[in-house]
Chains A and B, each alone.
Chain A
């Protein structure tokens, strides 16, 4: 049961973003820029960062949601499974491995990011902008994960829910102009 009254048809983050739309707007805009805006990292790569950080924070709602989004963008489910188990053996580029390592360090603490992991990323061709965005995406998901779990929101267990959510967020993170009443159970 959530700690505050949230709409039942909107579990996890979705109910929180409708509960307080004035704080939701900058959070949505930031997410849109970072995960869907122009970038030399693909949308799937950025979703992998979100997945790894949410998994590190043991936030099941966010992990399931961004795993589903990355799976949809990649067209397969093996990569998300592998990065959650072991970044170093996952089927991603060396540059992505180094960025996911930085993201995991940010998940622990800003101070946990090492000079070595930054140098590693630069050697593998990561640009300053890619490193910046990796750190900020990881930091943003430390916000999301705490927001979702700190208010004890509901985590659906039906994979179909996350499939539907992935279809929506693959298109973007802005609020739907018509709102979310259409998601109420018939």
Chain B
């Protein structure tokens, strides 16, 4: 299986985009806040922008400009959507993980087996 490499952080950003695009809210600030809320990491805006940039370059998301809003000083948002290629990549990652997890007989006794 050959696929484009996706870093852990990129994966989270991509997942967040996938979740937020349902409400049409997948843009910089919203993604940042969502990730902070869900993971508790301290993420900064420029990191999100950089990650989105890389994802777009890899062809996993695409973007278009949205409507201007007042709180942004009349500026437009760039709204992201996950491409088919991005979705497939996410699914593949998920499948790989699931298959590994399923090979652990009893995940809850992990520590006992290990010990």
**Do A and B make up one complex?**
no
B residues neighboring A (CB under 8 Å): none
